[in-house]
Structure 1
Amino acid sequence: MVRFCVSEKWLSAMAALFIMLAGFSVQAADADPTALLQAAFDNWRGKSSETTITMTVHRPEWERTLTMKSWTEGNDNTLARFTAPAKDAGNATLKLGSNTFVYNPKLNQVVKLPASLLAQSWMGSDFSYNDLAKADDLLTQYTHKTIGTERDGGHTIYTIEAMPKPGAPVVWGKLEVKVRDDGIMMEQTYFDQDMHVVRVMKTERIAPIGGRDYPVVLTMHPRDKPEQWTKVKTISATFNTEIPAYVFTRSNMQNPRGQ
C-alpha cells in the first residue's frame, strides 16, 4: 500500500511537470519569430537614431580603435562618419534605400558601391557594409522559424532560423538569430551556401542607453580566424528624434553641416 501511494504521488508530479512543459512549449511556439526580429530591429534603430560608437579591430599583430557618429532614419537611411583617429576622420558611408556610397576625404570623392561589395569588409573590420547599415534584409528576404528556446536571467531567449526566400538576392545560406523576449538581439550566426558557419556576432553587454535596454557591446568573431575579432561599443545614443533631411545627402558627406 505504501508503494502504491508513493507511485501515485510520483505519477501526479510527472503529470504536473508534463503539463507545465507542454504549456511552455505552446507559449514558445506561439511567439511569432518575425515579430521578435522586428522588435529587435525596432530596439536597435528606433524610428530614428543618433549614436556615438567606438570600433576596436583586433588582429594577432595589431589592434586599433576608431570612433564614429552614426545617424539612421527608418530602414532606408544611414550615415556613419568617423571622427577619430585623425588619419580616418572624415571617412563616411551613406546608405540611401538600396544604394550605398562611401566618401574618402583624401580623395574628396564619393563613390557608389555595387551591390556585390556590400558584404565586403567595412574599414578593415569583421563587419560588412550591410552590418553597418543594420540592413533589414533579414526581415524582408528570409522566412523565419523558431527552432529553440532557453531561459537566462528571468528572460526567454528564442533561437530563430532564417532561410532565404526563393530568388532572394542575399549572400548567406542561412542565419540563426537569438532574440530575447524584450527585443534584445543576443546573437547572430551566419552560414554560407554550404551551411558552414562563417562568423558569429554576440552581445557582450546590455545596459540602459537612450531610454531603453540596449546591446551596448557587440563582438563579431570570424569562425575560421579565432585569433581576430571586431568589437563595437555604443557610447551614447538618442532615439526617435527629428533628424534634418540634409544629413542623409552626398553633399553632407563631403561638407558636414553642424554635426
Structure 2
Amino acid sequence: MRFAILLIPVSFVLQVAAQDARSIVKKADEKMRGSTSQATILIKSIRPTWSREMEIRTWMKGNELAMVLIQLPVKDKGIVFLKRRKEVWNWMPALEKTIKLPPSMMSQSWMGTDFTNDDLVKESSIVNDYDHTIIGDTVIDNRNCYIIRMMPKPEAAIVWGKLIVCIDKQEFMELHIRFYDEDGKLINTMNAYDAKIMDGRLIPTRLEMVPADKKNQKTVMIYKSILYNKAIEDGFFTTERMKVAGR
C-alpha cells in the first residue's frame, strides 16, 4: 500500500508534464497556422554552385485542408499541391494530369528543395501524431525556450523518427527544429529568424532548412505576406479547384 501511495503522485506528475508539453506545441502550431491562413512565400534553394528562387501561394484551413500554388519560376507556374485530410494530390498543368501522392512520397524532397512534401502540405500533425516531452531549456536569440522531444505515436504514419523542437516561452514561436530518421540519425535542422508582426501576430518570417550531410546547402523560406483567420470554404480545397488555381 505504501508503494501505491508513492507511485500515484509520480504518475500524475508525468501525465501533467506530458500534457503541458503538448499544450505548448499546440499553442505554437496554432499561432503559426491560425484557423485559416493565406500566404505568399519566397523560397530560395542554395547550393554550392547555383541557387534557385520560387514564389508560392498557400491556403490552409485547420489541420486537414491545404493548397500550395507555384507562381514562379515561369516553367513551374501553375503546379498545385492539395491536401484533403490524409490525401495529397498534385496537379501538373503541362501534363493536364492530377496525381495522388502515396504516403511513401511524403519524405521526398518538395520541388528539389530541402523541405519535404510533408513539410509543405503538413500531411502529419505535430500535435496529434506525436507524444511530447519537455527535456530542458535553452536560449535562442535572447529568447528563453522550452526544449521538447516529439516521438511519433505507434499508429501514426510519420516521416520522422524523432523531432527536437525549441519553442519560445513567451511568444510560442518555433525557433529551432532537428529532424531525425527512424535510426536516430540527424537529417535536417531548421532555424527560424526575423520575427515580425504580420497580420497582428508575431511570427518568424524566415525559415532555413539545412541538411546534415550536404555541405554549403540549404533552403530559405521567406514570408512576404500572410493573412490569418479569413473565411475559406471547404469547397475551395478540391481537385477541380486545383486546376482552376493553376491556370
TM-score, normalised via structure 1 length:
0.84
Q: Which secondary structure does the structure 2 equivalent of 1:183 belong to?
A: coil
1:236 and 1:214 map into 2 onto residues whose CA distance is: 11
Tell me how many residue pairs correspond in the alignment: 230
Counterpart residue identity of residue 37, structure 1: V
Match of 2:236 among 232, 247, 256: 247
CA pair 187-55 structure 1, distance change in 2 beyond 3 A: same
Equivalent residue for 2:135? 147
2:123 and 2:98 map into 1 onto residues whose CA distance is: 21
Matched, 1:160 2:160: no
Which ranges of structure 1 fall in alignment gaps of 5 or more residues?
A: 1-28
Equivalent residue for 2:210? 221
Q: Which secondary structure does the structure 1 equivalent of 2:25 belong to?
A: helix
CA pair 124-154 structure 1, distance change in 2 beyond 3 A: closer
Matched, 1:120 2:108: yes
Displacement over 3 Å in runs of 4+: 151-155
Counterpart residue identity of residue 172, structure 2: G
Residue 153 (structure 1) shift? 6.0
Q: Which secondary structure does the structure 1 equivalent of 2:224 belong to?
A: strand
Residues 87-127 of structure 1 deviation map (CA, whole Å, 9 limit, x = unaligned): 11101100000000001110011100001111111111111
2:79 and 2:157 map into 1 onto residues whose CA distance is: 28
CA pair 168-244 structure 1, distance change in 2 beyond 3 A: closer
Residue 81 (structure 1) shift? 0.2
Counterpart residue identity of residue 97, structure 2: Q
Equivalent residue for 1:189? 178
Residue 30 (structure 1) shift? 9.4
Counterpart residue identity of residue 75, structure 1: N
Is 2:47–2:217's contact at 8 Å kept on the other side of the alignment?
Answer: yes
| RMSD of aligned alpha carbons | 1.9
Matched, 1:204 2:193: yes
Equivalent residue for 1:55? 43
TM-score, normalised via structure 2 length:
0.88
CA pair 30-255 structure 1, distance change in 2 beyond 3 A: closer
Which deviates more from structure 2 when the two are superposed, residues 128-137 or residues 174-183? 128-137
Higher relative contact order (CA 8 A, sep 6+): 2
Q: Which secondary structure does the structure 1 equivalent of 2:127 belong to?
A: helix
CA pair 155-128 structure 1, distance change in 2 beyond 3 A: same
Q: Which secondary structure does the structure 2 equivalent of 1:232 belong to?
A: strand
